[in-house]
């Protein structure tokens, strides 16, 4: 493994949140209190000097692959999933603005009545001005997950790394919630993730990160303040790199 910049030295970061994270204890949809908690953590991270972009999934509202499995056309299902991510992005944006944290939503699918279209240079200017940039609608194309969209946007934004929030505190050899013998990795290579099928992110996202030497930190979002803690090396996590 090669040496990488410590996470605490990352100045510009892309945060990947799953749509399911926004549900809180609900079975589906958006839990306002949970979104407010994430907004507080994100605001504290920005106030600490980090330029932060965010990609939110849409699984709390709709999953294209689930629709395809049920007989729906996969491309149409994925477009529906992209629209779900726009809803989540708007919810997060609202929570941030209510806490006086400047933010912008940029969508890969143009919808000017709702949010800004994705323009790379405009997104970078927003980040430099201290605004949280929330990327919606994935890559704008079907057959790509929001994990791949997060890796793509992190590379385009010239981020120092990608921080993916999950339900566990890193990458394990198996699901630690069901396998007590699962081993946690502190550091793992892109090749090991793919070869061992470690389910960190989908294969396209990992391959994109590998090809562009984008480090990925995997951490738990279960406790309040973890977004800030992980970016200050004050939280158990796993680093994926070359």
For residue 173, the tally of other CB atoms under 10 A from its CB is: 14
Say if CB 37 and CB 224 are below 8 A apart: yes
Torsion sign over Cα 191, 196, 198, 204: positive
CA–CA distance from 213 to each of 190, 205, 240 (Å)?
Answer: 9, 12, 10
pLDDT reported for residue 180: 87
pLDDT reported for residue 78: 92
pLDDT reported for residue 144: 94
pLDDT reported for residue 136: 98
CA angle 110, 147, 96 (to 5 degrees): 60
CA-wise closest residue to 14 among 147, 166, 211, 185: 147
Residue spans of the domains in the chain: they are: 7-241
pLDDT reported for residue 3: 67
pLDDT reported for residue 238: 96
Q: What is the dihedral of CA 38, 41, 47, 50, to 10 degrees?
A: -80
pLDDT reported for residue 62: 85
Please give the backbone phi and psi of residue 161, each rounded to the nearest 5 degrees, phi first.
Answer: -175, 170
pLDDT reported for residue 69: 66
What are the pLDDT tens digits along the chain (242 aa)?
556 789 999 999 999 999 999 999 988 899 999 999 999 999 999 999 999 999 999 999 987 567 666 788 989 989 999 999 999 999 999 999 999 999 999 999 999 999 999 999 999 999 999 999 999 999 999 999 999 999 999 999 999 999 999 999 999 998 888 898 999 999 999 999 999 999 889 999 999 999 999 999 999 999 999 999 999 989 999 999 98
Q: How far apart are CA 230 and CA 218, in angstroms?
A: 9
Q: Considering the domain 7-241 in this protein, what is its CATH number?
A: 3.40.1160.10
Would the pTM of this model clear 0.75, i.e. be above it? yes
Secondary structure in 3-state letters for the chain: CCCCCCHHHCCEEEEEECHHHHHCCCCCCCCHHHHHHHHHHHHHHHHCCCEEEEEECCCCCCCHHHHHHCCCCHHHHHHHHHHHHHHHHHHHHHHHHHCCCCEEEEECCCCCCCCEECCHHHHHHHHHCCCEEEEECCCCCCCCCHHHHHHHHHHHCCCCEEEEEECCCCEECCCCCCCCCCCEECEEEHHHHHHCCCCCCCHHHHHHHHHCCCCEEEEECCCCCHHHHHCCCCCCCEEEEC
């Amino acid at each position: 493994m090669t040496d990488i910049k410590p996470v605490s030295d990352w100045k510009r970061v892309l945060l990947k949140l799953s749509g399911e994270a926004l549900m809180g204890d609900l079975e589906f949809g958006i839990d306002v209190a949970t979104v407010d908690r994430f907004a507080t953590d994100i605001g504290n991270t920005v106030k600490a000097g980090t330029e932060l972009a965010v990609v939110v999934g849409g699984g709390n509202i709709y999953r294209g692959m689930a629709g395809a499995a049920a007989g729906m056309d996969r491309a149409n299902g994925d477009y529906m999933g992209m629209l779900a991510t726009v809803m989540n992005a708007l919810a997060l944006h609202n929570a941030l603005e209510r806490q006086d944290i400047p933010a912008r939503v940029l969508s890969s699918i143009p919808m000017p009545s709702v949010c800004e279209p994705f323009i790379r240079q405009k997104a970078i200017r927003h980040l430099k001005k201290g605004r949280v940039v929330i990327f919606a609608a994935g890559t704008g194309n079907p057959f790509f997950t929001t994990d791949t969209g997060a890796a793509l946007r992190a590379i385009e934004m010239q981020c120092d790394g990608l921080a993916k929030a999950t339900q566990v505190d890193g990458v394990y050899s198996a699901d630690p919630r069901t396998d007590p013998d699962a081993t946690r990795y502190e550091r793992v290579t892109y090749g090991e993730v793919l070869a061992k099928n470690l389910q960190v992110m989908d294969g396209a996202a990992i391959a994109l990160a590998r090809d562009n030497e984008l480090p990925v930190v995997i951490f738990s979002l279960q406790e309040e303040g973890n977004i800030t803690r992980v970016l200050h090396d004050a939280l158990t996590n796993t680093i994926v790199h070359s």
